[in-house]
Structure 1
Amino acid sequence: MLLIALATLASLATIAVLFSVLRAVRVHEPPAPVTHVRHERRRAHPAARDAREAIALVGDALAATHNPRALVPLILEVVTEATGARGAQMLHGGVEVGWFGEAGGRTRPLTLDLASENSDSDTKLLLYPPARGFDVETQKLAEWVAAQAGIALENARLHEEVRRQATTDELTNLVNRRRFIEALETELERAKMFDSPLSVILADLDDFKRINDDHGHHGGDRVLKSFGQLLRAQVRDFDVAARLGGEEFAILLPQTTAEAAAVVAARTRDTLAASPMAVSDDATVRLSASFGIAESSPALTTDELLRRADDALYAAKRAGKNRYVVDATAGVS
């Protein structure tokens, strides 16, 4: 909550009067060529020489979003408009992360540091001057804009960190129960809309209490963390692996039948069986896990799908553990 408060206060410091500055700007990752010219030429705007006009322009633009990726094009456009520059370029660690207008060429740019007082980020803003160059007042304005942009970027980083903490399990770095349910609800709607399959796997480490009893909670935490890494390695980029709590985990598999999900569960079980888990720097244990699998259908709600996967999981436990069971209604034996 403290991070949220700090981020909100810092945001309010940059807000002035309303001015809309949302237009398409190219942002990309590759190293910068010598010269860039934007294909969609920006409309000619006079430089915002009046300080109040510039403050209004900058303040609203920087308050428009807390997404760091969305802030980059906004900063580039607004600083170009405010100073009358030909174009602007942003570098992070020496690598270009965005540009606007005409960036590059033979003209020496005005280089400004975007690091705020609370950040040591190596981010720089390069402004390419018009033919007449920048006068002293415009350079001061550019420095002020850069300072505000640095605050906004740090602000966005704080908001992103708060958002990540709210949706990520701290121990395993998998998504938490809250985020998993949100993703499941979204994917269920998508599956219904496109009539595509979707499956859920619930996984529970067998006899995990024994690990805590024999090796302490620190040893148990090491096992949970290792299993989280193992689980992540078994899924595709668009699948969602989560820790729901304790030793219970889940995998959301869009565009996947129960039969295909069973292959994932079997592979995960076999990989776990072949992977000793460290409980200390000089001790390892071998573990097994049980898995329950359920496939969606148009009539199923989120709770019903999870209940079916949970019933299948406990059927696997009752059958002797270290196995997977597919919900019988999925039509897979």
Structure 2
Amino acid sequence: MRAVDEMRLRMDSLAQDLSEALDRAERESRRNRLFGELGGTVDLEELMDRVLDAAMEIPGIEAAMMVVEAQGGNPAAATRGMTAQEAAKPPTSGVAGALPGTITVSYRYGRERETSGTDLIRGGVFIPLMGRELRPIGTLSLFWRQPDAEPAQEHIEQAENLAESSIPAIENARRYGEARKLAETDALTGLFNQRYFHDTLRREVTRAHRYERNLALIVFDLDDFKSVNDEVGHLAGDRVLAQAADRLREAVRSVDVPCRIGGDEFAVILPESSAEDADQLYRRVHNSMRGVALGPEGHSLHLSAGIAELEHGDTAASIFERADAALYRAKDHGKDRADIARSTGEN
């Protein structure tokens, strides 16, 4: 009987060992698949999501935050298992500010940290992401909430390996993002360019039809801009275009898409908007343009606009044609005004 009991214990132990080995193998397989996928991911947000998903599978990790320097030096952040308050001021925020820029090892904290209440972050590991020439490009912070539940050293090393393995993909995604921004941006004004305008208009028209949403388009043209160039010169004219773009950018909503589509012509795509909404935008831009002085006489800048609201059966080409036709009517009727496009079929 004793021999049977010992055999049962050995079998139970073996089964437990096999189960743990299978779990480790499965986690390792998922991580290997992740590392293979990271290299083919050029979208920074998607990349960060994949890294955090993998980090949350590490035993003992209950929350995670990743911050990466994105375009223009602005940080992009993503979290898992954290409240809005924790994400706004993560426990490692003070640590990050105290670390020198060339640190290449993780910083662990938590044992001496005073905490009270339940479900609080009790500890974590802060892993700087170091790019080329040991330049910091971001951080990966992993946390645990249970007292005295610090992950084993091997699991901390897994986190460090995950962070290190993500760095080439992060740098690649950042380069791609910078290249895409250059390809989509008008160099003079910083607005979206003509190519981006047409691509986005097609996409928004399709979306609006599919979900039965409103969509408006407004096309602007600076009145008599050729004479402005003749009077003040092309360099000064470029400065005027840049100022006009700034005023336009200040007037639009965050969901609107302001573009320069050629010469002195601008356009704004307004999702979830009516022709009346677009007309209000024109009035805001029109009023702000009066503060742009032209030439030694300080004349105000004037602009005309054509407005079109998406109709049943409209394509990107047809709504643009209707807005453009409305713009020409505005100019024919004295300029410095907006005209709303007629419905399809109207004379």
Query: TM-score when scaled to structure 2?
Result: 0.67
Give the alignment partner of residue 66 of structure 1, picking from 20, 38, 42: 42
Partner Cα distance (1:109, 1:132) in 2 = 9
Give the alignment partner of residue 292 of structure 2, picking from 276, 297, 305: 276
Residue matched to 1:246: 263
1:186, distance to aligned residue in structure 2 (A): 2.5
1:98, distance to aligned residue in structure 2 (A): 4.2
Partner Cα distance (2:238, 2:258) in 1 = 18
Alpha carbons 2:128, 2:136 under 8 Å: kept: no
Q: What is the DSSP-based 3-state SS (H/G/I as helix, E as strand, rest coil) of the residue aligned with 2:52?
A: helix
Structure 1: which 5+ residue stretches go unaligned?
A: 1-43
Alpha carbons 1:203, 1:313 under 8 Å: kept: yes
Alpha carbons 1:66, 1:155 under 8 Å: kept: yes
Residue matched to 1:125: 140
Q: In terms of mean alpha carbon deviation, does 242-251 or 301-310 score higher? A: 301-310
Partner Cα distance (1:86, 1:268) in 2 = 51
Percent identity over paired residues: 33
More helix by share: 2
- What is the 5 A alignment of 1:124-273? 124-127=139-142, 133-135=152-154, 142-273=159-290
Q: What is the DSSP-based 3-state SS (H/G/I as helix, E as strand, rest coil) of the residue aligned with 2:305?
A: strand
- What is the 5 A alignment of 1:295-314? 295-314=309-328
1:146 corresponds to which letter in structure 2? Answer: A
4+ runs of 1 displaced by more than 6 Å?
101-104
Change (3 A) 1:283 1:143: farther
Partner Cα distance (2:76, 2:123) in 1 = 17
Alpha carbons 2:219, 2:265 under 8 Å: kept: yes
Alpha carbons 1:58, 1:145 under 8 Å: kept: no
Partner Cα distance (2:189, 2:326) in 1 = 24
1:218, distance to aligned residue in structure 2 (A): 2.5
Alpha carbons 2:256, 2:268 under 8 Å: kept: yes
2:322 corresponds to which letter in structure 1? Answer: R
Alpha carbons 2:66, 2:140 under 8 Å: kept: yes
1:283, distance to aligned residue in structure 2 (A): 9.1
Larger Rg, first or second structure (1 or 2)? 2
Query: TM-score when scaled to structure 1?
Result: 0.69
Change (3 A) 1:128 1:326: closer
Partner Cα distance (1:293, 1:178) in 2 = 20
Residue matched to 2:129: 114
Aligned length: 283
1:60 corresponds to which letter in structure 2? Answer: G
1:109, distance to aligned residue in structure 2 (A): 4.2
Q: In terms of mean alpha carbon deviation, does 308-317 or 190-199 score higher? A: 190-199
Change (3 A) 1:160 1:168: same
Coordinate RMSD, CA, aligned: 3.9
